[in-house]
Structure 1
Amino acid sequence: MEAPPDNDVLWARSLHFTHQDGSPALAGVSLGVRESEILAVTGPRGSGKTTLLGCLSGLVPAQRGEVWFNSAPVHTMGPMARERLRRDRFGWIEPTPVLVPELTAWENAALPLMLRGTSRRRAKTAALEWLERLDVGDSTRKRPHELCQSERQRVCVARALAPAPTVLFADEPTAPLYSVDRTHVLRTLTTAARSHGITVVLATHDPQTAALADRTVSLLDGRRVNTVHLPPVPETEGRATCSLSV
């Protein structure tokens, strides 16, 4: 078994995964992700992007192939070890905002920290910092139904960033947003990740979203087709408005 390169925080070799209906999701995908890199995984819907993120994070065990995280073989870990890895080292952002309706914005953002055993005071401090950075600092006591779609998604981004994950997996994180909100949330996410040295693996079918990454890997029918190196993007942010969506 060949160990991954020292400078890759994530490394995968020849990943294969087939859905229960027999359709292939991954057909021999290999890649490496460097520390503090923002990598965009692109391709049309159904190309295997979500499955790849699931395999890299240990959420979905690959049926064949290897996944390494900091030289630890994720592909040989049992379910409990993978769960601890996701809880302690990884963050995840879903395509649409999913929040606990009974909790306020800051409580939702602090939830992963409190589940780790962090004190309520420390978890709240970290959550408030990220909510402020993501321009929802004035809505920390609101519950999800009082927030617009863009605000709810930014709370989800804060929830993923607050525990300071080593790797953040973002699966179409701005798919339901309007273009102005999409650009703002993605720029804020990538800027925050760079400032804190967080590695980001971002799945998207949107070229403008992929342009914010350091590097792009493209998938088609579960196979890697090419890699594009992109120039750095200036770290500028703008404030966007949003309309209420309940």
Structure 2
Amino acid sequence: MVAPPDNDVIRASALHFAHRDGSPALQGVSLGVRKGEVLAVRGPRGSGKTALLRCLAALARPQRGEVWFDGVAVHELGALGRERLRRDRFGWIDSAPVLVPELNVWENAALPLMLRGTGRRRARQAALEWLERLDVAGKARLRPHELRQAERQRVCIARALAVVPSVLFADEPAAPLHRAESAQVLRTLTTAARSHGVTVVLADQGPREAALADRTVTLLDGRRVRTLHLPPEPAAGSGPAATEGRAACSLSA
């Protein structure tokens, strides 16, 4: 077994992954992510975006194929090795904001730092800096239940960035946000990542994420495709049903 080229911080080769019911989520996906790159993974719901990110981030083990990170064969690591990799090198932002209800906002944002052994004072300072950049520093002493959903998601993004991970995986991070603020948050996320040399793998459906990325990979039915034509986002006041009916995709392999 040979490690991938050094210019790829992450390399996936022929990944196959199935859901618990046996339905395929990934069918032979291969890709490389360069160090410091912002890579957007696009595709409609059910295309395999989340499964791909989870395999790359050591949250799920592919049934077949290889995942390499910085020369390490992630697909061969045991549970403890995968946990350490996620804690020490990776950051994750989910599409739904999940915070520890017993902790206030700054404690939630500082938690990964403290789990790495950073002192409380230093962790608090780092957390507050990121909360400020994401316009939620004024909520630092509130509990999660006192925040709006969009504010909770901003805290989750600050928590992921506070540790300055080697790779940040973001699975539809703007999903809980309104259209206007999602653009601002995505710009903050990608700009901050670039300024700190963080590699980003960003999954979403819309064109905004692709515009902020260095490169785009497109998935459909668990496979990489060259082009994917989706209908335009509905105008304000138009319902999703009309758009969904036109969501047929044309592609070229």
Instruction: Report the TM-score, using the length of structure 1 for normalisation.
Output: 0.90
Paired residues for 1:149-168 under 5 Å: 149-168=149-168
Displacement of 1:2 in angstroms is 2.9
Paired residues for 1:43-192 under 5 Å: 43-192=43-192
Asked if structure 2 preserves the Cα contact closer than 8 Å seen for 1:36 and 1:200, the reply is yes
Asked if structure 1 preserves the Cα contact closer than 8 Å seen for 2:202 and 2:209, the reply is no
C-alpha offsets along residues 111-169 of structure 1, whole Å, 9 cap, x if unaligned? 11111221111111110111111111222111112222222111100000111100000
- Runs of 5+ unmatched residues, structure 1: 229-246
- With over 3 angstroms needed to count, the CA separation of the structure-2 counterparts of 1:66 and 1:227, relative to structure 1, is farther
Asked if structure 2 preserves the Cα contact closer than 8 Å seen for 1:96 and 1:174, the reply is no
Asked if structure 2 preserves the Cα contact closer than 8 Å seen for 1:43 and 1:205, the reply is yes
Q: What's the % identity of the aligned pairs?
A: 72
Measure the CA separation in 2 of the matches of 1:205 and 1:5. Answer: 29
Asked if structure 2 preserves the Cα contact closer than 8 Å seen for 1:217 and 1:227, the reply is no
Equivalence for 1:27: 27
Measure the CA separation in 2 of the matches of 1:109 and 1:62. Answer: 30
- Runs of 5+ unmatched residues, structure 2: 229-253
Give the residue type in structure 2 aligned to 1:139: K
Asked if structure 2 preserves the Cα contact closer than 8 Å seen for 1:216 and 1:227, the reply is no
Measure the CA separation in 2 of the matches of 1:210 and 1:223. Answer: 18
Structure 1 stretches of 4+ with a deviation exceeding 4 A read: none
Measure the CA separation in 1 of the matches of 2:174 and 2:96. Answer: 7
Instruction: Report the TM-score, using the length of structure 2 for normalisation.
Output: 0.87
- What SS class does the counterpart of residue 211 from structure 1 fall into? helix
